[in-house]
Each structure stands twice: as structure tokens, then as C-alpha cells.
Amino acid sequence: MEQQLLRTLEATCIQEELPFCTAACPLHVDVRGFMACLAKGDERGARRVLDRTMPFADIVGRICDEPCRQACKRSEVGDPLAVAALERHCVTSTAAVLKLTKLPDREGKVVFFGSGLASMTAALDLARKGRSATILTTEREIGGSLRRLGEERLPLAVLDAAVEQLGSYGVNIIFDCQMDAEFIEYTLNFYDAVFMDRDWSAIDDFCLDCRHPNPLSLAVARPGCFTGGGTGPNGYSVIRQVEEGRRAALSIERYLQKVSLTAGREREGACATRLFTDITSIEPLSVIAPADPAAGYTVEEAAREAARCLQCQCLECVKQCAFLQAFKEYPKTLVRKIYNNQAVVQGTRTANTMINSCSLCGQCTLICPHQFPMAEVCVTTRQSMVLDATMPPSAHEFALQDMAFSLGSEAAMLRHQPGKSSSRFLFYPGCQLAGSAPDLVEKTYLHLTRHLHDGVGLMLGCCGIPAHWSGRQELFAATMEEFCTAIQENGNPLIITACSSCYVTFKEFAPQLQIRSLWQILEEIGLPAGKRAPLSQPMTIHDPCGVRKEPEIRASVRNIAGQLGMNVAEQPFSGELTDCCGFGGLMQFANGPLGEQAAERKARRSSLDSLAYCAMCRDNLAASGHRVAHLLDYCFPGEGLADPLLRPNPGFSGRHENRARLKAQLLASLWQETSALPLEHKRIALDIAPQVRELMEKRLILEEDLQKVLLHAELSGRFLEDPHTGHRLANHRPVRVTYWAEYEVRDSGYRVYNAYSHRMILPERKTA
């Protein structure tokens, strides 16, 4: 990933944008953090938040005119937070928690005329940076207009404490100065920079310049002179004194460092924020007022008021995505990790599993207010990992072998309709439907041949999307090309896909082909007549993630369900917001536990029985123990009484078996062709207990792998034996994985007790 792209992506995700209150606060006080502390009764934590940002928390916290309050998101669902009243509660009930550090003294002497809050703030900020700061005032005390607010609002003792605070940072205050233009001119000779506090009403008598400071830097025409504070168009604002004092201090610091006074200062002071916070499901709440307004909030009342804070953030995508939740990231932090991962030259690439765990389903992009392209980032990263040979081999190997099986001689086939020599249509059920429900493939095919004319061919195979998901561009391109060539050689029939992944894959990567979804065709040609069990219980539809952008297909499915008399109750995360079942992006292969969580999450969106129309969704939801059927189960009901909602997940071995059997059976029954004899190892009869099957499924071990272990062991006679149990233990490494099987020889075949595997290569056998 180029750094430029990283920056663009980082800017796309707005999760780290300032909350509305903080953006509106000229000091950018972390109001959200403040509220979080108060809400849990952590008064000192709340005080620490104020101490960190406010120059004089005891003053500002008491009397701030709270511009943040108007910006508070809560005002859209109830009253805005009573920020100033809570701050007042906090500073009156706690002492300062944090004393901010001071840098070592440096050159640069600054003088401040006038001793209002702007001067106080600027002097404190500069003294903390190690600059020498001297306040000159004609008065006897500091504070300027602050002194006239009344003991109620601001006790004078607080100002005395501020004098002490300034002193502790080395700020020099000279009271009772006799000031005239001459004195000022003379004084300026001894200082490198000057700040004029406009709270000092006499200032205009000395400096005409001071009326027109630069709004960004507060610099006036004369070099080294800055001004701020005082009464503005809307009267005297406390926070404005602090803001301008701080802004001037930053300008003076820049001036002393001889750098630009204005560059890059747009986000200083109150600023805009791009944050998005969803409030659609938030209950409106009114402000909690203190029972005794004169005394202010009690700790308990403050906690209740602060608890109304929405803790504004975005995380819209994270709220829905099992992947983002599992890695505790949001896209902005995630792309940074991806970038760093790719920059690793020597050392461990710790983000590989994360990169391979995204289901590439695109839900987040649709939810995101700025369409963050998470799937695109992950898939292109995978592609570059494959290219520079840093892709972990184990992540996708199993899935790619599964794809190779579907495309291989045992499972793949392409024929014109029996008795025809050309095809106007071609039914393409896809590898997963063939693997999950081979009988439904056959019934659907026969139905199509009865209602569509001019030949309906049949093609069994795999669209190749696993190659794309795994970042194998070359393999994917080759698979696609082979498919397109076959289609062309067969006269460009209209391809009818039963699987939505195949549909969108062909649509995106072979746009020249004619494709339609089986559901649209069924809607047109109708369903087979015949008796069906009445379907009264309400069901919910689980759209596959592939049809997120295919509203017509989703509509056809619902029409068909309607024709079948089904009682469909929609759940909110269907349609374009639908979840992935864990198969997408090969998530479940690169990260088994996460795949299970994704399936579980999808299933739990509704407590009703589920209707799926993607075979993989159906199988994964069934694997997670939910009642789920495929729409074809109801279109072409079986003879028996078997409830399609209870059809188990066939598992990886079962799918292989089903695909191979489907091909052999169709060839025999429809085309009168006999297929080759099964491979030698397929004749090894295994007896596998369900719990061992479950282990094999999780460990990605196929029955076939064990058949090969046993064939190898029994032919070579090389195995271990346990004299107590009579069990045997043997291994075999067909390609890159060593499979182990613990088994027992029975009359009828082999009873399997355990199966596991590793990739580490063991030494060759000893030659005697």
C-alpha cells in the first residue's frame, strides 16, 4: 500500500474525528471523557480531564459560557448536556489533580500589558514552554473583568490562587504600573514579543494597530506584537479570553521560533467535525437539574446528568461486523496495521491473520457514512501478499483444494441437454449447491428442461471466486478464462446460476456473458405443480452477502416464497445490509472460530426459522445449530417426511462426496454414461463417530485424507500400535500436510478414533 493511499483511507474513516462538543470548544476540552468519568462517579478522573486542557480549571470550570452545549448531539434527542454546570460541580468539589509540566527555561522574553484572563492564559502557556513572561498591569490585582463577576460566580480567592499558580511557573507580575505611550515604547525595547490584553480598557489609547489583528495569529502590523481578549461583539465571553490568550501564546511561540504564524492552524479553536453518530435508536432524555440550584449538583445528580452523554463516536461498521469486533479495530486503525504489516522486512507480520479474516462482504462499506472500502483494501492486500510471497500457505490452501476438486474430473462436467446438440440455456448450480443438496440440483435441472426450450445444458464446476478471495489473481484469471472459453465453445448460452456468488462473479469479471439468476427464471416459468405441506410458521429470509447490490434477485426470491404460501417476516439486517455467513472472503478457512461467530451472528438476527437461498449460508447456519432450509427445498419438496429445516450440514467431506456422486449419477441417469471407477483409496471403508467428524470439520481434514493415510499404512505396514487398546496410529503426507489417523481394524472396515494434522515436515524413514 502506498503511503498516499494510506492517508486517503485514514481520512475516509471519521471515527477519530472530534466529538461535537469538543470541536465546538475553543480549547477542545475532552467533554466526552469528562462525562464518562462523572457518569461512573470518578470525580478526580473528571477533574484530571479539565486540568489537562484548561489553563485555569478553577476559573474556567466555574464560569465558562459553554459554546459546546449548543453543539451537543444530545440536543437532537432531548436536552443538551449541562456541560458548564457539571464543570462547575467538578471544580468546586475537587482540588486540582494534575500539575502540568514546565519545560526548562529558554531564551525569549515576552511582556503582557493588562492582566485579564487572556494575558494570564498566554503568560501561563508561554512560561510552561520555558519562556520568560512578565505581566504589567495598572491595577492592584489580576483578573480584569473577572473581578467584577461577583463572589457568587467567581470567588476572589480563586483569583488569588491563580496568582500563586502563575508564580509557581515563574511568571513575573508587576502591579500598579504607571502606563503611557512612552513607557510602553520604552519597555518594548527589553522584550522579544508583546501581548496586549484588550480587556484593559485603556489599550486603545496607546495602540491603534491593536484593533485589527490577524484572525488566525492575532498578530498586529508591528512585528512581534499580538493582541486578544476583551469584550467582543457579543459582550464579555470567558472562553474567548482563554481562547485568544492561548492562540496568541502559540503565535508568539512560532514568532520566537521564526516559523510561519499562520500555516496549519485551521483546527485550532472551535472547528468543524465530520464525526457521524447515529441517534436513531436513542431514547430522548431531559436534563437532570440539581435539586438545589444554588448549591449545584450533588455527586449523584452529576453522575445521572453525565450519564445522558451519548459518548459520541461513529463505529457504525463495527457495531455490525464480527470481523472488526473480533480484532477490536475500526477501519482507520486497521489500515494502519495493514500498512505496517506490509512494511515489515525482517520480523513477524502480525496482521496476516487479520487481513485474511475479513469476509469481503461489503456490509461495512454500505453502512459507513463515507463508504470505507474495507473489502477492497483487504483483497488487494492479499493479492500483493501472494505476489511478494508473504501469504501464509495454510490460510487458503484447503479452500483452494476444495475449488480444485470441484473443477476436477471427479466433480466437474458440461453437457448439452440429453438428446440436443446445442444449448440456448446453461444451468450452473455452483459448487456449493452441488455439495450441499445434489438432489435439488437434479430436480431443478429437470424442471428447467421441461419449461425452457431449445436446450438447457448443465455445467458442474466452481466459478473460481475462492481464488479471487485468496488473492490468487493468476489462478482466478485462468479459471475465469477457461470458463468463458467453454461457454463460447458451447454457443454462448444464457447462464442460469443458482448461487449468488457465481452470479456476481460472472457479472463482474465476465460482463460479456449473459447471466440470469435461477430465481428470476423460476419466477417466470413458475414452480412445479403438486402438493406441498402447508407452511404456516413464519420464517425469516437470510439474504446472502452476494446479493447486497442485486435488489431484483432479492425481490424474485420473495415472490417465489410468496407463491409457495410462505409467511416471511423480514429482519432488519437483510437485503443490502445482510451479514455474511462466514464463507465470504474465505473467512472460515483463515479463521475458523471467527467464521463460526459470523454464522452465529447472522443466524441470531431473528429468532424465527430461517430461509436461505445460498447453499453455503444454509450449511453454515445449519452448522451453527439453527433451523434453516434452502428455498429449493420448498420449491422441489422431497417425497419423504424429512423436514428440510433439520437437514444437517454435510461438512467438507460430505460436500466432496455429494459433488462426485451428483456427477456420476447424472451422467448415468440422463446421459447414459458410466464414469470411471473410483480411486483406490475411496474403497477404504471408514466408520467415523460424529464427534470425530466434528473434529475433522474444525481441523479441515477430509475423509479422503484419512482414507489415504489408511491405504498407505496398511499397504506399507508402517504404523504404530498400542497393545492395550489394539488401536493403530499412522500418518501420510500427500502434499503439504501430514495427516494422522488413530484407528482400529474391524471386519467391516476401519473405525476412526482420532484425526489431526500438522504442516511441519518429519525426517525421511531410516534406511537400514
The residue type at 106: R
Residues 500-539 that bind ligand SF4 (CB under 6 A): none
Beta bridge partners of residue 225, listed in sequence order: 194
Cα dihedral sign for 461, 463, 467, 470? negative
Query: Which of another protein, ligand SF4, none binds 717 (CB below 5-8 Å, type-dependent)?
Result: another protein
For position 9 contacting ligand SF4 by CB under 6 A, the verdict is no
Reading the block at residue 564, the C-alpha cell is 409457495
3 state DSSP class of 133: strand
Of 95-103, 218-226, 314-322, 512-520, which part binds ligand SF4 (CB under 6 A)?
314-322
Residue closer to another protein, measured from CB, 208 or 720: 720
For ligand SF4, which residue of 28, 47, 62, 74 counts as binding (CB under 6 A)? 74
Closest CA to 417 of 480, 522, 496: 496
Q: How far apart are CA 297 and CA 598, in angstroms?
A: 45
**Is the separation of the CB atoms in 113 and 97 below 8 Å?**
no
Contact residues for 609 (Cβ-Cβ < 8 A; gap 6+)? 537, 538, 539, 540, 627, 628, 629, 645
Give least dist CB 83 to ligand SF4, A.
6
Do residues 102 and 130 lie in contact, with contact meaning Cβ atoms separated by under 8 Å? Answer: yes
Of 9-17, 171-179, 641-649, 652-660, the segment contacting ligand SF4 by CB under 6 A is 9-17
Q: Determine if 21 is a binding residue for ligand SF4 (CB under 6 A).
A: yes
Q: Is 363 in the site for ligand SF4 (CB under 6 A)?
A: no
Measure CA 158 to chain center.
47
Which CB, 126 or 317, lies closer to ligand SF4? 317
Nearest distance from residue 680's CB to ligand SF4, in Å?
53
Residue 322: name its binding partner from ligand SF4, another protein, none (Cβ under 5 to 8 Å by kind): none
Considering only 117, 248, 322, 368, the residue that binds ligand SF4 (CB under 6 A) is: 368
Residue 312 touches ligand SF4, criterion: CB under 6 A: yes
- CA–CA distance, 394 with 737 (Å, rounded to integer): 9
Q: Which has the closest alpha carbon to 309: 46, 14, 64, 38? A: 38
Given ligand SF4, another protein, none, residue 31, with its beta carbon under 5 to 8 Å by kind, binds ligand SF4
With CB under 5 to 8 Å by kind, the binding choice for 440 among another protein, ligand SF4, none is none
Between 279 and 686, CB nearer to ligand SF4? 279
Contact with ligand SF4 (CB under 6 A) among 13, 37, 239, 664: 13
Segment interacting with ligand SF4, rule: CB under 6 A, options 145-153, 223-231, 343-351, 360-368: 360-368
DSSP 668: H
Partner that binds at residue 23, options another protein, ligand SF4, none, CB closer than 5 to 8 Å by kind: none
Evaluate whether 7 touches 265 at the Cβ level (below 8 Å).
no
**Which one of another protein, ligand SF4, none is in contact with 765 (Cβ closer than 5 to 8 A by kind)?**
another protein
Is 441 or 741 the residue whose CB approaches another protein more closely? 741
Partner whose binding site includes residue 720, from ligand SF4, another protein, none (CB under 5 to 8 Å by kind): another protein
**Residue 470 CB, nearest approach to ligand SF4 (Å):** 24
Grid cell listed for 556: 424474485
Q: Which does 169 bind (CB under 5 to 8 A by kind): ligand SF4, another protein, none?
A: none
Least distance in angstroms from the C-beta of 589 to another protein: 14
**DSSP characters for 684-728?**
S-EEE-HHHHHHHHHTT--HHHHHHHHHHHHHH---EE-TTT--E
* Interaction between residue 73 and ligand SF4 (CB under 6 A): yes
CB atoms within 10 A of CB 20: 24
Q: Which CB atom, from 195 or from 339, has the smaller least distance to ligand SF4?
A: 339
Q: From the list 370, 424, 507, 627, which residue makes contact with ligand SF4 (rule: CB under 6 A)? A: 370
Instruction: Determine contact, residues 550/503, Cβ cutoff 8 Å.
Output: yes
All 3 cell numbers of residue 31? Answer: 467533554
330 binds ligand SF4 (CB under 6 A): yes
39 binds ligand SF4 (CB under 6 A): no
Query: Segment near ligand SF4 (CB under 6 A), from 136-144, 181-189, 239-247, 313-321?
Result: 313-321
Closest distance to ligand SF4 from the beta carbon of 311 (Å): 6
Strands 225-228 and 172-174: unpaired
Stretch that binds ligand SF4, among 189-197, 311-319, 382-390, 572-580 (CB under 6 A): 311-319
Interaction between residue 309 and ligand SF4 (CB under 6 A) = yes
Nearer to ligand SF4, 334 or 730 (CB): 334
Find the shortest distance in angstroms from Cβ 472 to another protein: 16
Amino acid letter, residue 564: L
Q: In what order do the strands lie in the sheet with 609-612?
A: 539-542, 609-612, 628-630
In the bound complex, what is the minimum distance in angstroms from residue 590's beta carbon to another protein? Answer: 11
Q: Are 220 and 195 in contact (CB under 8 A)?
A: no
- Supply 249's cell numbers: 501564546
| Residue 50 interacts with ligand SF4 (CB under 6 A): yes or no | no
Residues 442, 665 contacting (CB under 8 angstroms): yes
β pairing state of 193-197 and 109-113: parallel
Cβ neighbour number for residue 343 with a 10 Å cutoff: 10
CB 218 within 8 A of CB 228: yes
Nearer to ligand SF4, 310 or 355 (CB): 310
81 binds, among ligand SF4, another protein, none (CB under 5 to 8 A by kind): ligand SF4
User: What does the alpha-carbon distance between residue 240 and residue 206 come to, in Å, rounded to a whole number?
Assistant: 23
Pairing mode of beta strands 628-630, 720-721: unpaired
Binding site for another protein (CB under 8 A): 347-350, 352, 392-395, 699, 717-724, 728-729, 731, 738, 740, 754, 756-766, 768
Give the whole-angstrom CA distance, residue 196 versus residue 202: 11
Per partner kind, with CB cut-offs from 5 to 8 A, the member of another protein, ligand SF4, none near residue 393 is another protein
Q: How far is the CB of 27 from another protein (least distance, A)?
A: 44
Angstrom distances, CA of residue 111 to CA of 100, 137, 192: 22, 11, 8
Range 221-255 burial, b when 16+ CB lie within 10 A, else e: eeebbbbbbbeeeeebbbbbbbbbbbbbbbbbbbb
Chain residues binding ligand SF4 by CB under 6 A are: 13-15, 19-21, 31-32, 35, 72-74, 81, 309-312, 314-317, 330-332, 364, 367-370, 372
